[in-house]
Amino acid sequence: MDLSEIECEQALRQIELYLDGELAGLERVDVERHIGGCSDCYGHSQFMSRLKEMLRDKCGCHDVPPGVAERVRALFAERGDPSITA
Ligand SMILES: [Zn+2]
């Protein structure tokens, strides 16, 4: 493995910022590259992306309430399944 590549743990933390468009430059490139080569993190990014869309549609605002995101994340971690598609 290339030492310059970021780890899953780091990627998972960055994915949310990435989806919010808050990453720029190298950080963004690193996350994109990681997602492109890691099915687990790719699944997670797809899940998070859908989740954000869902919540956005529901509340009609552009920010997911922090409490909700935390609860869903906990649920997600409990299941330990990064490939949830429902
Ligand atoms: Zn990964």
Domain ranges for the chain, please list them: 8-79
CATH, domain 8-79, list 1.20.120, 2.60.40, 1.10.3470, 1.10.10: 1.10.10
DSSP secondary structure string for all residues of 36-70: HH-HHHHHHHHHHHHHHHHHHHHH-SSS--HHHHH
- State residue 1's pLDDT score: 47
Q: Is 22 helix (H, G, I), strand (E, B) or coil?
A: coil
Provide the residue-wise pLDDT of the chain in tens; the chain has 86 residues.
454 578 999 999 999 999 999 999 999 999 999 999 999 999 999 999 999 888 888 766 656 566 777 777 777 777 665 555 44
CA of 33 to the centre of ligand 1 (A): 10
Cα–Cα distance measured from residue 29 to residue 23, given in angstroms and rounded to the nearest whole number:
9
Q: What is the pTM (predicted TM-score) of this model?
A: 0.60
CA of 10 to the centre of ligand 1 (A): 8
Q: How many CB atoms lie within 10 A of CB 28?
A: 15
**CB-proximal residues (5 Å) to ion ligand 1:** 8, 11, 38, 41
- State residue 28's pLDDT score: 95
Cα–Cα distance measured from residue 4 to residue 16, given in angstroms and rounded to the nearest whole number:
21
